[in-house]
Chain A
Amino acid sequence: MVCDNCRERDSVLKLVQVIDGTPKELHLCERCAAEKGVESAVAAPSPAIGELLQKVQQQLLVGAGGGGTGAGDAAAASARDAVRCTFCSATLADFRSTGRLGCPHCYEAFEGSLRELLRRVHGNARHTGRVYMPPRAETADHGGSLGELRDRLKRAIEAEQFELAADIRDRIRVLE
């Protein structure tokens, strides 16, 4: 059955909404369900996040570009997309397609875009909850263990990030 909202994708769940006292059945696809705030049992709203990110990026471009040409915008957008997280080699384009970040360091790599995205998702981008201090010694230990560096190296090579790969290889040599 096709989705009642977009009429494009297959519906994956039926939502019974009571509108003005009458229950109404809505058959929704994963994406439309996510947009309606229904977490389906199958997966969380990943594509919706990707689309939201796209809007955020457009807004940031308009803000930064000062009314630049379309071509300039496109160039700036692809430049932004080319930025890679140095830890996991993920790009904003990866995030947009999966709706998931690659690793904790992605939050630093894409900080500007994410701050705006978080503001839109939560209404606020500043954490005011539990303050946490990680256990120090362990962080240092695990920040660069051999196995971990090898994983980073493989990911960097897969992403054709050869300069980064060379750096990581150097650090592995030191540890070996």
Chain B
Amino acid sequence: MPLDLSLLPDGGVIWMDASGEHSDIVLSTRIRLARNIEGYAFTGRARDGERLRVLAQVRDAATQVPALAHNVFVRVDELPATDRLLLHERHLVSKELAGLDAQHPVRSGAAVFLGPDVGVMVNEEDHLRLQSLRSGFALPAAFEAVQQLDRELGARVPYAVHPEFGFLTACPTNTGTGMRASVLIHLPGLVLTKEMGKVLAGLQQMGLTYRGLYGEGSDVVGNFFQISNQTTLGRSEDELLQQLLVVVRRVIASEEDARRILLRDAGYIIEDKVWRAYGTLRYAHSLTFDEAMNFLSGVRLAVGLKLISGLSVYTLNKLLIFSQSAHLSRAEGRALTESEANLVRARYVRHTLAQEAGAP
């Protein structure tokens, strides 16, 4: 059965509708809880039959979980690779669950409950990865949603716990709360003013970690960073969240400062840079994904600085997602070579921006 994402509200991309606090700087907030079910080996060591029983038990319990009432259930292991890539590009399943690299092919029993507020990946590295994904900077709301799901599901399925170590996970880096809270943030001001190094060093001292957003190679592109808690044990969920909240607020304030300084000291350089980026996106006829990401970063900065008006953050978010290759192939209805994808990408970006500008 082909994957029909139209069953999902907004095709499963409601998390980037640009609502939420500081949405021009923070794209999205994600919290995931790793849980395993008592009585089975962890996914990596489990046999096919065992994973299928995990899935059956979860599906059975899910019918009685109100938080999952509006979710769409998808057997990831029964999807063709193109659809699995599509789900991954939409940030709805992890690369591991989608089985996208040759060393980790898709596992039997891999499945996902997709929903507007919360979702559950089944048979990822852990039996269950409960997650909540929100637009903008929304840690408390995301946590409330995933906690509700955790309570409801945990009352029907016995999670594996240890009196001293807390929730047990396949990898000891997740043991304890099993919680990873992360914020996807756009920091061109800090990168341009060369303050990023200090910020990143500060994060690590605070027990937080970061990674870049990878392009189609494995390059960090577009000045996007993902900041998250590094440890999961020894502090409560609230303490971990509070710390991330405080630090991200500080990073947002530094980014705003950096942007003010850029405008004040190098206004014309910045203006030239962002309009060139806009001009390229608006008129180029071939764009690699990495190019598109980097120019979109410039345009996003311009919108944040109110240098370009009449362009919404939502449109920019959509361009980030829909200009990825599986999305382009889906829109064209066929597989695309790399150079074909670059042409289709440029056309899609051109049309979207022209539409937004009210041009024919």
**Complex contact A43–B171 (CB within 8 A):** no
Contact of A100 among B40, B44, B159, B167 (CB under 8 A): B44
Mark contacts of B222-246 with chain A using CB atoms, 8 A cut-off: 1 yes-contact digit, 0 otherwise. 0000000011111111000000000
Measured CB to CB, the closest approach of chain A to B280, in angstroms, equals 21
The segment from B22-30, B75-83, B191-199, B291-299 found at the interface with A is: B191-199
Chain B residues lying within 8 Å of A126, measured Cβ to Cβ, are 164-165, 233-234
**Which 8 pairs between the two chains have the least Cβ-Cβ distance?**
A124-B234, A127-B166, A104-B160, A134-B158, A21-B194, A13-B218, A18-B197, A122-B233
Known: A21-B197, A44-B125, A103-B41. A132 touches B231 (CB 8 A): no
- Chain B interface, >50% SS class: loop
- CB nearest neighbor in A for B179: A129
Tell me, in angstroms, the Cα distance from A48 to B202 when the chains sit together. 23
On A, residues with C-beta under 8 Å from B are: 12-23, 37-46, 49, 87-88, 90, 98-104, 107-108, 114-115, 117-118, 121-130, 132, 134-135, 138-139, 142-145, 147-148, 151, 154-155
B317 at the interface (CB under 8 A from A): no
**Complex contact B160–A14 (CB within 8 A):** no
Beyond the given A20-B197, A101-B172, A108-B162, please list 18 additional residue pairs across the A-B interface where CB-CB is below 8 A.
A16-B219, A43-B96, A45-B173, A88-B41, A100-B170, A101-B170, A103-B41, A114-B165, A114-B172, A122-B233, A126-B164, A126-B233, A127-B162, A130-B236, A134-B158, A139-B158, A142-B57, A148-B50
Chain A residues lying within 8 Å of B195, measured Cβ to Cβ, are 21
B154 at the interface (CB under 8 A from A): yes
**Complex contact B218–A16 (CB within 8 A):** no
**Complex contact B196–A18 (CB within 8 A):** yes
**Complex contact B176–A135 (CB within 8 A):** no
Chain A residues lying within 8 Å of B218, measured Cβ to Cβ, are 12-14, 40-41
Chain B residues lying within 8 Å of A44, measured Cβ to Cβ, are 125, 171, 173
B65 at the interface (CB under 8 A from A): no
Chain A CB within 10 Å, residue with most, of B101, B154, B176, B195: B176
- CB nearest neighbor in B for A16: B220
Tell me, in angstroms, the Cα distance from A136 to B236 when the chains sit together. 25
Chain A residues lying within 8 Å of B231, measured Cβ to Cβ, are 121-124
A-facing residues in B17-58 (Cβ within 8 Å): 36-42, 44-47, 49-50, 53, 57
Measured CB to CB, the closest approach of chain B to A122, in angstroms, equals 4
Chain A CB within 10 Å, residue with most, of B103, B157, B218, B219: B218
Tell me, in angstroms, the Cα distance from A107 to B101 when the chains sit together. 29
On B, residues with C-beta under 8 Å from A are: 36-42, 44-47, 49-50, 53, 57, 95-96, 101, 103-104, 125, 150, 154-162, 164-168, 170-173, 175-177, 179, 191, 194-197, 200, 204, 207, 209, 211-212, 214, 217-220, 230-237
Measured CB to CB, the closest approach of chain A to B177, in angstroms, equals 4
Chain A CB within 10 Å, residue with most, of B40, B95, B191: B40
Tell me, in angstroms, the Cα distance from A64 to B183 when the chains sit together. 44
Chain B residues lying within 8 Å of A16, measured Cβ to Cβ, are 212, 219-220
**Complex contact B158–A101 (CB within 8 A):** no
Tell me, in angstroms, the Cα distance from A44 to B176 when the chains sit together. 17
Some 17 contacts from A to B, beta carbons below 8 A apart, are: A41-B95, A88-B41, A88-B45, A90-B45, A103-B42, A115-B165, A118-B172, A118-B176, A122-B176, A125-B234, A127-B166, A130-B237, A135-B158, A138-B156, A138-B157, A148-B40, A151-B49
Contact of A155 among B41, B155, B233 (CB under 8 A): B41
- CB nearest neighbor in A for B150: A130
Measured CB to CB, the closest approach of chain A to B62, in angstroms, equals 14
Chain A residues lying within 8 Å of B214, measured Cβ to Cβ, are 13, 41
**Complex contact A129–B95 (CB within 8 A):** no
Chain A residues lying within 8 Å of B104, measured Cβ to Cβ, are 43
